[in-house]
Copies of this chain bind each other. A is one copy, B any other.
Amino acid sequence: MDAIAEAPDQTAETDRHLSAFIGYAMKRALSIVQADFARTLADYDLRAVSFSALSIIVGEPGLTQTQLADALQIERSNLVTIIDELAGRNLIIRAPVAQDRRRHALMPTTAGKQLAAAAQASAIDHERRLFACLTEGERAELQRILRKFRKEAVV
């Protein structure tokens, strides 16, 4: 309990006791991707979540905030400031819905569509650059396996 220890020669790979876990490998890989992605999106003053929100709004114009929150897997309440920000930059509008005045139909503006297109091109480029260390087959396998897992994992 009061042991005096010798300082060992501690170099790299200190996390080798965790690297047997796929979850750990996924976390480490994702943090690399996220850091590079954040740098990429900084050019457009977008965070990953605002990029995702804008991309979905451009792809599914007219969806409501609740639907978007579900798609992004975030709480409705936490989406509000994200939408505020995109709307404040005139990238989207909250359009009133005729049939149900509680809802807002989220619509991209022309500027929003243009920014989304440019940011998406950069995002594609970011992935191409970052995953260039993998072969085409490895990238495809990684995507396929991750999608299969998401679809079929029993939680």
Q: Chain A: interface residue count, which band?
A: 35 or more
- Bound: A45/B125 CA distance, A: 42
Tell me if A18 and B146 are in contact (CB < 8 A). Answer: no
The winner among A23, A127, A138 for most chain B CB atoms within 10 A is A23
Tell me if A145 and B149 are in contact (CB < 8 A). Answer: no
Chain B neighbourhood of A35, CB < 8 A? 155
The answer to whether A149 and B123 touch (CB under 8 A), given A67-B10, A95-B5, is: no
Q: Which 5 A-B pairs have the closest CB atoms?
A: A5-B105, A17-B59, A14-B71, A133-B152, A25-B146
Name A43-78 residues within 8 Å CB distance of B. Answer: 52, 55-56, 58-64, 67-68, 70-73
Contact of A127 (CB < 8 Å), options: B10, B22, B93: B22
Query: Interface 1/0s, chain A 132-144, versus B by CB < 8 A?
Result: 1110001101110
